[in-house]
Amino acid sequence: MNTWFEKKLLLIVGAGLTVFTVLPALAPLFAYLGWNFLADPIYWVYQWFCHQRPWRSYHLFDYQYAMDARMMLMFGSMAVSAFVIHYFKVKPLNKWQSFILAILLIAPLGIDGTIQAIAEVLNSSNSIPFYESTNLTRSVVGAIFGVGIAFALFPSLREQNEIGKPDSNFLSKLVVSFLISILFIPVIVFFWGITSNTYKPSSLLIDFEQRFPGYNYEITTSAGHSTIRRLISIGDEQKYIARAEYYDRQDLIEKYETQKKVGDFKPALVSIPVEIWVIPTIVLILIYAYKAVREKKGLKNEL
């Protein structure tokens, strides 16, 4: 007999992902209100999941979200998909179909992230990379990733699922989840624009500007537009200073020096080359989800 937990498992997953996505959006609101006792813990916890670079993040009241644009849509689209899969009773694919679906929809994020990483590694300290993903691109590929992972794994968490049986509306439900997810982009950008005076999006509803610290963006650090001093950061400030000198952006250097003097610039305590904690975290979550699905199937077979 199915327990209450089994019946509500996907709703619980969706609710958890919703909370995980909403909290980073509340952090800048709390910061604006002066409620640092609420903003600080959110920014601090999310540093373990995201680099928190301001130029790759949405803002509210000139404070950045606690997660960057890509991860906001990644986890947000997973939450949306969880509810769609539950209420529309989406049937799971077989394991090979699920694997192929996941690979296909993870690919855009992988390509975008890989090209961006290569551009960062190859560029010299006094030039801009040949590629920088925009907040729009990061959001869209994040949403594709989230929907792909959700539709590959979450249908198996539904009670009384029928694995292997074709679902003629599977693709349409996946597309609906994606469209609902990306509808949040113009809403987020709109409120960013009307609440912020210093750090603004490139247009009213879509933010498609490539931002390069030391070139067309201020010299700052991870979580530079938050209320905390991160424990871990990328540590590229010297590269951005050299870039500003190369492009004769003395105004950016002066602003950086002023922020350091007044304490607005908050360098992290430890610098590392990449956010190495993110990938193991995601892998562990996927492994746990896979094991949970296998165990649930085993229990049903025994019954």
Percent of the chain residues past pLDDT 90, beyond the cut: 60
The answer to whether 100 touches 172, Cβ cutoff 8 Å, is no
pLDDT grade, residue 274 (50/70/90)?
very low
Cβ pair 163, 156 in contact under 8 A: yes
Percent of the chain scoring above 70 in pLDDT: 81
Q: Is residue 225 scored above 80 in pLDDT?
A: yes
For tokens 């113009």, the residue is: 186
Residue that the structure tokens 């500007």 belong to? 209
In this predicted structure, which of 34-43, 61-70, 79-88, 161-170 has the lowest mean pLDDT? 161-170
pTM of structure: 0.87
How does residue 288 score in pLDDT terms, banded at 50, 70 and 90? Answer: low
Lookup: tokens for 203: 């247009």
d(CA 303, CA 294): 14
pLDDT tens, residue by residue, 52-82: 999 999 999 999 999 999 999 999 999 999 9
* 49 vs 294, more confident: 49
